[in-house]
Amino acid sequence: MSAERLLVDIEKRYPAFHLQVRLSVGAEVMVLYGPSGAGKTMTLRAIAGLLRPDRGEIWLDGRLLFRSDGRHRALNVPAHRRRVGLVFQDYALFPHLTALANVAFGIRGPDRRERALAWLRRMRLEHVAHLYPSQLSGGQRQRVAIARTLAAGPSVLLLDEPFSALDRDAKRRLQGELRQLQAELALPVVYVTHSLEDAFAVGHSIAVIAEGRVQQVGRLEEVLAQPANRRVAQAFGLPNLVEARVRAHAAEGLLLDWDGSELLAAGRDVPVGARVIVHIRPEEIRFIYPNRPLSAAVRHNRLRVRVLEHRHGPDFRLVRVLTLGPTSAELEVRSPPSTYMDLPLAPGSELEVAIRPSGIVVLEAAGPDAEG
């Protein structure tokens, strides 16, 4: 990816909400991901010039679009001069204009019609140029909206839940087309979604936002594998978040006390005695077969459990268990559907599990500031 093209460092206070966003986006698709009400759309509106922050800066391709320290006169470039393209979830097409006229609306010059037709052709929409929005499918309307936005020559493309109203097939096609367009145009793209599936379908990188703050930014796979804190883990819907205390640093990793159960976790620089938030990856929990020799994979972190629920999906087996002994907590165990075919996994069954140390990930220190 290229160097940063869009730089955002803004803050805006509301009576019950505080938006604080720091982002840098290159020629890539950055997914702004988080639950409803997290501040995703507010961030897009601030970049587009539709919402004025209290303080901070916004830069685009070396141009300063906004600057304020909250006290003195601010620089605030009007929305129509920012060269920011914003595509809404509801398309925002003009109902009284044809697809061609909608795309031509933002184009200036004597060759407006030809350039608009070229964009419709690029989006595979030339055959519906004469139709009105009410005569188009949802996918066609969204393509027209994207074509109209790109035809105006923006320096950045912002998309707010753009494909959420589409069926799965139309969504997949448009997600692929968006990646192709971004690669062709080398544009920075900020794509807002609350769907992790959408994030992986379109994104190169991800910024996880919760309660108005960007909690973590990075490559999608890296952020999912190593969430920065509890809020990021919860935004991803990760199960098996527990609290433990650091007992000692060992050669093999970090020794934790989980309410009386000892766990060996992946190493991390955390002080002895600290309370920490831990994510136990469900795919790293193994059931132990009784009366079989123990392999290296099940040497550590053995716990007695009772099965609470057992169900299958098309590509997984999910078992929900309750730990027995000094620690009583619910855990999810996830594995391929072909595993453990000959183990008694009916609800009520008692077995032993082992957790790989690499599957026990310390996220953050617990306490008053643990979720920030």
Q: What value does the mean pLDDT of the chain take? A: 91
Q: Indicate whether 271 and 159 sit together in one domain.
A: no
Q: Indicate whether 357 and 285 sit together in one domain.
A: yes
* Domain-located, residue 232: no
Positive or negative: CA dihedral 151, 152, 153, 155: negative
Is the model more confident about 365 or about 200? 200
| pLDDT tens-place string over residues 191-229 | 999 988 899 999 999 999 999 999 999 999 899 888 888
Q: Indicate whether 81 and 207 sit together in one domain.
A: yes
Share of the chain above pLDDT 90, in %: 71
Share of the chain above pLDDT 70, in %: 96
Helices (H) and strands (E) in the chain, counts: 8, 21
Which band of pLDDT confidence, cut at 50, 70 and 90, is reported for residue 315? confident
Looking up residue 320, the CATH number of its domain turns out to be 2.40.50.100
| pLDDT tens-place string over residues 334-355 | 999 889 888 989 999 999 999 9
Buried residues in 209-234 as b, exposed as e (16+ CB within 10 A)? bbbbbbbbbeebeebbebbebbbbbb
The structural domain count of the chain equals 2
pLDDT at residue 366 in the model: 66
Among 42-56, 237-251, 287-301, which is the least confidently predicted range? 287-301
Domain hosting 154: range is 6-226
Is the model more confident about 152 or about 295? 152
Which band of pLDDT confidence, cut at 50, 70 and 90, is reported for residue 34? very high
* Domain-located, residue 1: no
Beta bridge partners of 208: 33, 216
What is the rounded average pLDDT of the residues 241-257?
93
| Model confidence at 13: pLDDT above 70 | yes
Instruction: Read off the pTM.
Output: 0.83
Q: Indicate whether 335 and 210 sit together in one domain.
A: no
* Domain-located, residue 13: yes
Are 286 and 310 contacting, i.e. CB atoms less than 8 angstroms apart?
no
pLDDT at residue 297 in the model: 62
> 3-state class of 73 per DSSP?
coil
Q: Where are the alpha helices (DSSP H) in the chain?
A: 40-48, 99-104, 112-122, 138-151, 168-185, 196-202, 220-225, 230-235
* DSSP sequence for 111-162: THHHHHHHHHHHTT-GGGTT--GGGS-HHHHHHHHHHHHHHT--SEEEEEST
Q: Indicate whether 140 and 251 sit together in one domain.
A: no
